[in-house]
Homo-oligomer: A and B are copies of this chain.
């Protein structure tokens, strides 16, 4: 299950070097995975309404080349074929129309019962979305 999310790099995201500051890449990853799930029919908001939260447990990013102000970028997100207790999502950032990979990363989400604060299996809502995507 792979999804492409487009983003225009904003002035507020750029630093005195004129390039996107490294922290904002995590914001792009969040938007990318949210839209990937929505395309599979899952609004993260609905998952939360069932009492499940999906906190980020690990983040790894490798910044290979700079991204500049006003660049139109494409964030490719790839989900595992089955959601386990933890869901590692991998990302690759490129400029629109350019194959060169600028940034890569992995963000791993846990699936947690909010009330009890305990890891739980993926809710049916999510498992179905992943299954359909195969």
In the bound complex, residues from chain B placing their C-beta under 8 Å from that of A62 are 57-58
For the complex, give the distance between the alpha carbons of A61 and B12 in Å.
17
- A3 to chain B: closest CB distance in Å? 14
Could you mark each residue 25-40 of chain A with 1 if its beta carbon is under 8 Å from any beta carbon of chain B, else 0? 0110011001100000
- A62 to chain B: closest CB distance in Å? 5
User: How many copies of this chain are found per oligomer?
Assistant: 4
Chain A interface residue bracket vs B: 35 or more
User: Would you call A26 and B23 a contact (CB within 8 A)?
Assistant: yes
In the bound complex, residues from chain B placing their C-beta under 8 Å from that of A17 are 16, 53, 55, 114
Name the CB-closest residue of B to A35: B8
Name the CB-closest residue of B to A68: B45
